[in-house]
């Protein structure tokens, strides 16, 4: 486990009424030690919100991780608040969470809130309570997310605007003057220090009101990895449920560790095809094939201009290997809507 810089617990606050039931969904795949460390950090939160329960879903790990996590839950006495479930296969992040969400919404007394939590996180004191209290005080809000931090407590980007044609153009051109001209369209919004409404938040720490699922269904299982929380939050927004970022609720996010990679490498690895497929799915399903095709023209053209400028200015190459080729090969220009599975969100 990485050394995590401690932060003081939140000060005393007025007690809130019981939230009903909060269900925390942790989807893990071949990340036993990370998941156990995460559960260890969750344990104090249960005393803070005694109606909380945790559902750990293993996405068909092949390395013995499932047995190790299940045994840790039993051996550490966490069985009173944590249950372990094995997914029938590795069908992705959305499908794994849906296993827990279906369980949370089942029965005569379904959970009032579901909180998605990455297995490669360490929960800071009070993180759950802060999110639940915010949702209790703001019944019009459907989704909220907290702040993700590095182990040294420096913040990470974890709240964003929705991707668009113009945001993709600015992203791939990578030119300061264009960023300034299109600033209000950029996906990145910085690191807020106060609660604020936002388009979407990271699924590493994300609380969702039960009524959102009743209105829009579950997370779309057509996404294997990436863009699933962006898409889900967009569907919630269209159904009238806003999203907020609450920076006082915090977790340490060991970015990429649950997938065996990190962001802190000299040269990134080749981006997995599921990222490109999820990106295409997001734009085609939400904005139509024509918009997705134009977006890809902007992205591909912008990236080609960036590569040319990089060569002329002799800037270092920090792009993933084969990125331009992969961007073209998986674009909406090559694949149409017919290649996409329909939304898979049924309760």
Is pLDDT at 16 greater than 50 in this prediction? no
Q: Which residues of 302-317 are buried (b: 16+ CB within 10 A; e: fewer)?
A: bbeebbeeeeeeeeee
Q: Does domain 22-156+191-259 have CATH number 3.40.50.150?
A: no
The predicted pLDDT at position 17 comes to: 39
Q: Are 245 and 196 in contact (CB under 8 A)?
A: yes
The predicted pLDDT at position 12 comes to: 43
The proportion of the chain whose per-residue pLDDT surpasses 70, expressed as a percent, equals 90
What DSSP line would sit under 15-54, residue for residue? PPPP-S-EEEEEEESS-HHHHHHHHHHHHHHHHHSTT-EE
Mean pLDDT calculated for residue range 149-154 = 95
The predicted pLDDT at position 347 comes to: 82
Taking alpha carbons only, the member of 32, 95, 94 closest to residue 65 is: 32
Q: How far is CA 123 from CA 6, 99, 158, 293, 308, in A?
A: 11, 22, 15, 40, 43
Of 47 and 27, the one with more pLDDT:
27
Lowest-pLDDT choice from 173-182, 244-253, 257-266, 316-325: 257-266
How confident is the model over 53-69, as pLDDT tens digits? 999 999 999 999 999 99
How confident is the model over 195-218, as pLDDT tens digits? 999 999 999 999 999 999 999 999
Mean pLDDT calculated for residue range 254-276 = 71
Is pLDDT at 97 greater than 50 in this prediction? yes
Q: Delimit the domains of the chain by residue range.
A: 22-156+191-259, 273-337
The predicted pLDDT at position 346 comes to: 85
Mean pLDDT calculated for residue range 316-323 = 92
Taking alpha carbons only, the member of 237, 233, 17 closest to residue 135 is: 17
pTM exceeds 0.85 for this model: yes
């Amino acid at each position: 486990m990485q050394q995590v810089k401690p932060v003081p617990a939140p000060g005393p606050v007025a007690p809130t009424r019981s939230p009903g039931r909060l269900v925390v969904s942790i989807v893990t795949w071949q990340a036993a030690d990370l998941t156990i460390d995460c559960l260890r950090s969750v344990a104090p939160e249960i005393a803070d919100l005694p109606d909380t329960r945790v559902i750990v879903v293993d996405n068909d790990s092949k390395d013995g991780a499932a047995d190790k996590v299940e045994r840790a839950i039993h051996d550490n006495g966490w069985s009173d608040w944590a249950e372990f479930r094995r997914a029938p296969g590795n069908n992705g992040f959305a499908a794994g969470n849906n296993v827990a969400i279906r369980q949370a919404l089942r029965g005569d007394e379904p959970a009032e809130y579901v909180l998605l939590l990455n297995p490669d996180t360490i929960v800071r004191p009070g993180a759950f309570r802060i999110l639940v209290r915010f949702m209790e005080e703001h019944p019009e809000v459907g989704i909220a997310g907290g702040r993700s931090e590095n182990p040294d407590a420096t913040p990470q980007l974890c709240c964003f605007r929705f991707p668009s044609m113009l945001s993709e153009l600015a992203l791939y051109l990578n030119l300061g003057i264009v960023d300034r001209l299109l600033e209000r369209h950029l996906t990145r919004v910085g690191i807020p220090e106060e609660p604020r409404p936002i388009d979407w938040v990271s699924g590493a720490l994300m609380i969702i009101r039960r009524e959102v699922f009743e209105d829009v269904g579950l997370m779309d299982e057509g996404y294997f990895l990436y863009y699933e929380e962006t898409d889900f939050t967009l569907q919630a927004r269209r159904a009238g449920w806003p999203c907020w970022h609450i920076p006082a609720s915090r977790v340490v996010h060991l970015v990429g560790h649950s997938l065996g990679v990190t962001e802190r490498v000299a040269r990134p690895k080749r981006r997995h095809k599921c990222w490109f497929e999820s990106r295409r799915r997001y734009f085609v399903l939400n904005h139509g094939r024509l918009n997705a095709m134009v977006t890809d023209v902007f992205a591909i053209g912008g990236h080609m201009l960036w590569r040319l400028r990089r060569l002329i200015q002799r800037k270092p190459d920090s792009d993933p290997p084969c990125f331009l080729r992969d961007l073209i090969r998986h674009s909406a220009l090559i694949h149409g809507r017919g290649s996409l599975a329909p939304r898979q969100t049924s309760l």
